[in-house]
Every structure is written in structure tokens, then in C-alpha cells.
């Protein structure tokens, strides 16, 4: 098989058109077969096959730095850079990451999945190379919606201002720019992408400027004609107003056409945008016909999950409360908003990859009398922490933050673990933070959050299946719920999904004659006073959370109990502060001692 025979990207330059076409087909089939087993991002990678082949045929990676934004579209890049034999272990613990990884390959310059960052990376790297005299082109591949993020425009602005020799490949797969292309436009594209023509044009303009008074009229005529054509036929005005030359659009599935465009772009001295049009999910009918399902991850919303409980609660609230609206940042599918959008299209707002805007817009909506629900992954809330703090909380606005994928998420790796939200949100004045331990708890908490009008509320839940309980096992409001009464020796507090692990530890300890009290805190902030009073009566209090152990829920309990007379011994269990690799959530939590046996072992040790 040709794919397995590739030793380096340089081997691609020896292939003819028919061999390249056959290789593209083989790559698509390899990705489809692998993702079918391991899960992952299918559509974006199938659409980038020819583009990635062209990039590696024109540029010399890793001397030429090829930077991808977002990182989930790099499966083809991995296959072409010596990792084809390992690709079957995609997203598996200890094996191949689903994102670029500097530990895996020198061809991976940046490790990223939080979108819209690559142009800033490119600006910084090109600046460093210019300062140190290093050789090699910097190439930034952006697309899959990343141009909707404000940081992308900031980077683009600075690239144009600095005039740095960076090639920006705008991978337009239907979620970026889509200019009209006609015969005249195609002719202009071919002319403008020719460096020889551009040099002659600059020479002509220079001659015109040096002519007597007639020259000024000629120069004005040239400029006016260019501007008119640009406005009529080309989407260049935006880019070139920033000092970035624009080429395109090109067929992103025509390798020869893209090679010509990329080769020409590399001859320009300053920054150049090469606009390519690709088809998301190309070559795989299910992904072509349902691009939403295959946009981020093939998993979707699982039946019986916390996310499904949120979807049901949101729709139910919206049916009786017309002021309820929902906002997300380019993820209406995996945050569970698609059914809501289908039912209430005018009340669902997808702002693109712009979390900061989403939160501040929610603040404005709340000021105007709406009840905004902001649905994000927990990891992406960190991008809008300032807005949650100063735009929402400072004004005491009743915005409801619904944070999916909180805690250790598993196979998506360090960029997706939602381990910072409890630490951050517990420091926001007036913020109420709720953590459901079951499907029914989430529904009750959402109802309570919508009814709460004194300030912002955050509900965080995990990617794992949600336990289902009877309604008499559900709390209300901000009160904690005592699950099990012990003998006063040990009190276990399990935040959110960790209640399951705490209950398992209590059962294991009970078999050894240790009767532990178990609490479901429900409200992470503010802490329930009744729970704290009861905990203070115990010899040992153990808190368990699936966020960073420093500065989160357990730290709050420790501080609250430390000031009491005869304070108990408190042991705070949580995720160590680090960037943790991908792997199953259960195995990672067990490695941190955050499963039943691990918690029980901690109790035994501390009681001694």
C-alpha cells in the first residue's frame, strides 16, 4: 500500500497525478475505517485530503512550519508525516493524539484545538524567524469556522501591519467565506496569482507616478479601475485593506491547481491569503449528507446523557417562558441545542467561534429582559472568563451558563479537559455554581437556575452517562442532599458525577466496618451551611471533584471548615494541576485516585 510506504512528506514529490489520486482515495478510506472504530473528527479531515497533499508537496516540512487551526483537521497531516503505521491507535490512551502533538513529531509545531489562534502563532513565529535570520516559510492553515473568531482578525491585522512573509491558507468548507466565482472572476484570479504580472503592475504604477501632471491622472485611473474590479468581482477588499494580498478562490480538491497557487504565494514578500474551496466530508456519503453530525466529533448527543437532560429542560422552559433564549459558539450540535433551534429558530443564536462575544451578548440580552442560556464546553469558557466576571457578574445579570464536558473528558486530550471551570467560576463574585450528580438533578437545577434572578448561575456536567434516579433522590434550590448517614468517623463529599465514586468508596468502607456519611453537595458555590455543620462533626472530611484540586470545590470546603472550633481533618481530592494526556475518563480518574477504590484507600490512610 502506497500510504504505508511513505517515509516522509518529501516522498510525495515523486508521485504523478494518477498516483496522487489513488493515494488520496487510500487516505480517505484509512480515515473512515479508523474513525469508525475510535471516534473522532471525520468531515473536516475528509475535506482536507488534497489540500494537505498539496501543502506537503510545495513546502518542506518541518523547515517550513505548517501550522493548523484547528488541530482536529490534521489526520491527513499525521498520515503523511511518518505516523501511518500508528494511526490505528488514534485517540487511544498512550497512543496517537487526535490533535497535533509536539511529542509525536517535529512536523507538529503547535498543539491546539481552541480555534482562531493560528494567525497569532504565525505572526509570532515569522517575527522570530525574521529577527534571527532563520530560513523557511511560515504557513498557517485556517478554516472550519475559525475565521469567525475575533482572535483570527487580530492576528490577520498584525500580519498585514508587519508585512511578514506568511502564507495563510483559508480552507473554506462552507463555514467561512464563499465569494461568487464567474468567468471574469476566474480570469482575474489567474492574473493576480501570477507574481510576474504583479511585478509588472507595480512597475507600471511606478512609471505613472513619475510622469508629469498626466501621470497623476493615469495613476488615479489605474487605482480606480482596480478598486472597481475588486469590489465587483473579488472578495479582496477586506484582506487587502489590512495589507494582506489575496489569491483565490481555488478548487481545494485539485492538487495541481493548489500547488500552482501555493508556489506563487510563496514568491510574494509579504503575507498572502490563499483561499481554497473544499467539501466537508468529501468521499463519504454520510458525512457529505450530514455535515453537522460530522463537524466536531462522530459521537453526538448520547441518549440518557446529561446533555440530553439539558436539552429536554431547555425546551420545556422555553415553551412556557418566551424570554428564554440560547446562545452557543459554533457548537449547537454537541451542546444539545439542535432540537431547541428546530423548535425555536428565532431564539437560538450561534455566534461562531466567539466565546467572548457570546457571553457579553448574553449580558446585553439579560439587560433587555431576556433569559439567556449560554451553552459551551467547560474548556471553552476559559476563553470568556473576563466577560463572565466583568460583563455579567459585575452587573448582577441572570445569565445561565450551561457547561458541557466538564471535568476529565477522555480521548480529546489536554485541550478539552474541563478542569478549570470550578476554579475560575468560584472566584467570580455573585456566581452560583451547580454540579448535578444525575439526569434528574440536572433537570431540577436548570429549573432552579431559570427561576433565579439575583445573578449568574453556572451548571457544569460531564461527558459521561448520567445516572438516573427517582425524584425523591433529587434536591432542590441550593441545598445539599445527604445520601448516607455514618457513624461520625468519615464524611465524604462528592461533587457532581463524583458522587458515584464516593458512594462506591462508602460501600467498600462499610464492608470493613467504617460507616461513612455521604453528601451530594449539589451547589459548589455557595456551600450549603447544613452540609458544613454536619461535616464539622466528623473526624475526617474527604472532598472529591473532577476539576483541579487546587482552588476548587474542596479548597472552598477546607477554608469554610478551618475557621470552625475543633475543625476536622480535611483531605481534598481532585485532578492534579497539569496538562493531562488523552485516555478514557475512567482510567484517568482512577490514576488520580478518584474512583471508589482510590477514595477508600485515601480514607484508610488518613484514618491511621
Residue 25 and residue 282: Cα distance in Å, rounded?
A: 10
Active-site amino acid positions: 280, 355, 383
Residue 55 and residue 390: Cα distance in Å, rounded?
A: 43
Residue 400 and residue 432: Cα distance in Å, rounded?
A: 10
DSSP letter at 390 equals: I
Q: 143-162 burial, b for 16+ CB within 10 Å, e for fewer?
A: bbbbbbbebbeebbbbbbeb
Q: Is 302 helix (H, G, I), strand (E, B) or coil?
A: coil
Burial class (CB in 10 A: 0-12, 13-18, 19+), 476: exposed
In the numeric block, which cell numbers belong to residue 182?
Answer: 464567474
Residue whose C-alpha is closest to residue 272's, from 262, 280, 258, 281:
262
Residue 519 and residue 506: Cα distance in Å, rounded?
A: 11
DSSP letter at 102 equals: T
In the numeric block, which cell numbers belong to residue 550?
Answer: 487546587
Q: How many CB atoms lie within 10 A of CB 19?
A: 12
Contact 492, 505 (CB under 8 A): yes
Which residue in the block uniquely carries the three cell numbers 420545556?
Answer: 316
Q: Is 104 helix (H, G, I), strand (E, B) or coil?
A: coil
Residue 568 and residue 558: Cα distance in Å, rounded?
A: 9
Amino acid at each position: 500500500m502506497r500510504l504505508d510506504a511513505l517515509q516522509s512528506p518529501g516522498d510525495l514529490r515523486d508521485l504523478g497525478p494518477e498516483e496522487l489520486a489513488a493515494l488520496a482515495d487510500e487516505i480517505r478510506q484509512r480515515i473512515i475505517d479508523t474513525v469508525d472504530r475510535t471516534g473522532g473528527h471525520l468531515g473536516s479531515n475528509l475535506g482536507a485530503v488534497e489540500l494537505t497533499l498539496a501543502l506537503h508537496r510545495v513546502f518542506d516540512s518541518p523547515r517550513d512550519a505548517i501550522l493548523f487551526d484547528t488541530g482536529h483537521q490534521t489526520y491527513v497531516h499525521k498520515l503523511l508525516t511518518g505516523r501511518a503505521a500508528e494511526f490505528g491507535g488514534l485517540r487511544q490512551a498512550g497512543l496517537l493524539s487526535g490533535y497535533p502533538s509536539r511529542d509525536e513529531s517535529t512536523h507538529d509545531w503547535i498543539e491546539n484545538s481552541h480555534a482562531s489562534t493560528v494567525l497569532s502563532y504565525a505572526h509570532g513565529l515569522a517575527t522570530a524567524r525574521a529577527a534571527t535570520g532563520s530560513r523557511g516559510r511560515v504557513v498557517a492553515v485556517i478554516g472550519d469556522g475559525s475565521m469567525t473568531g475575533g482572535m483570527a482578525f487580530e492576528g490577520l491585522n498584525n500580519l498585514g501591519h508587519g508585512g511578514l512573509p506568511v502564507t495563510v491558507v483559508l480552507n473554506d468548507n462552507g463555514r467561512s467565506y464563499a465569494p461568487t466565482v464567474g468567468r471574469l472572476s476566474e480570469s482575474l484570479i489567474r492574473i493576480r496569482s501570477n507574481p510576474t504580472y504583479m511585478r509588472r503592475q507595480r512597475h507600471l504604477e511606478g512609471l505613472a507616478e513619475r510622469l508629469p501632471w498626466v501621470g497623476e491622472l493615469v495613476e488615479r485611473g489605474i487605482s480606480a479601475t482596480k478598486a472597481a474590479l475588486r469590489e465587483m468581482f473579488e472578495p479582496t477588499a477586506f484582506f487587502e485593506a489590512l495589507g494582506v494580498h489575496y489569491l483565490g478562490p481555488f478548487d481545494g480538491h485539485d492538487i495541481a491547481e493548489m500547488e500552482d497557487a501555493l508556489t506563487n504565494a510563496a514568491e510574494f514578500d509579504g503575507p498572502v491569503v490563499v483561499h481554497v474551496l473544499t467539501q466537508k466530508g468529501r468521499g463519504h456519503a454520510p458525512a457529505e449528507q450530514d455535515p453537522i453530525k460530522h463537524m466536531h466529533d462522530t459521537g453526538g448527543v448520547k441518549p440518557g446523557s446529561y446533555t440530553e437532560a439539558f436539552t429536554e429542560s431547555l425546551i420545556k422552559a422555553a415553551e412556557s417562558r418566551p424570554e428564554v433564549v440560547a446562545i452557543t459558539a459554533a457548537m449547537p450540535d454537541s451542546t444539545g441545542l439542535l432540537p431547541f433551534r428546530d423548535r425555536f429558530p428565532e431564539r437560538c443564536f450561534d455566534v461562531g467561534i466567539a466565546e467572548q462575544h457570546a457571553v457579553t451578548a448574553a449580558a446585553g440580552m439579560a439587560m433587555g429582559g431576556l433569559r439567556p442560556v449560554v451553552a459551551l464546553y467547560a474548556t471553552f469558557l476559559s476563553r470568556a472568563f473576563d466577560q463572565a466576571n466583568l460583563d455579567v457578574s459585575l452587573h448582577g445579570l441572570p445569565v445561565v451558563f450551561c457547561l458541557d464536558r466538564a471535568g476529565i473528558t477522555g480521548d480529546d486530550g489536554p485541550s478539552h479537559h474541563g478542569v478549570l471551570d470550578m476554579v475560575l467560576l468560584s472566584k467570580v463574585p455573585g456566581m452560583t455554581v451547580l454540579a448535578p450528580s444525575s439526569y434528574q438533578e440536572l433537570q431540577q437545577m436548570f429549573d432552579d437556575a431559570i427561576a433565579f434572578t439575583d445573578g449568574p448561575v453556572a451548571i457544569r456536567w460531564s461527558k459521561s452517562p448520567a445516572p438516573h434516579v427517582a425524584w425523591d433522590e433529587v434536591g432542590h434550590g441550593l441545598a445539599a442532599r445527604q445520601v448516607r448517614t455514618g457513624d461520625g468517623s468519615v464524611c465524604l463529599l462528592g461533587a457532581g458525577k463524583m458522587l458515584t465514586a464516593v458512594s462506591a468508596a462508602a460501600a467498600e468502607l462499610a464492608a470493613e466496618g467504617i460507616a461513612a456519611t455521604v453528601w451530594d453537595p449539589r451547589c459548589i458555590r455557595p456551600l450549603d451551611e447544613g452540609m458544613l455543620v454536619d461535616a464539622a462533626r466528623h473526624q475526617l472530611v474527604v472532598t472529591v471533584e473532577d476539576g483541579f484540586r487546587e482552588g476548587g470545590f474542596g479548597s472552598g470546603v477546607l477554608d469554610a471548615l478551618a475557621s470552625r472550633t475543633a475543625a476536622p481533618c480535611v483531605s481534598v481530592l481532585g485532578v492534579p494541576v497539569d496538562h493531562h494526556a488523552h485516555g478514557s475518563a475512567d482510567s484517568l480518574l482512577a490514576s488520580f485516585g478518584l474512583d471508589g477504590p482510590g477514595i477508600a484507600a485515601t480514607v484508610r490512610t488518613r484514618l491511621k
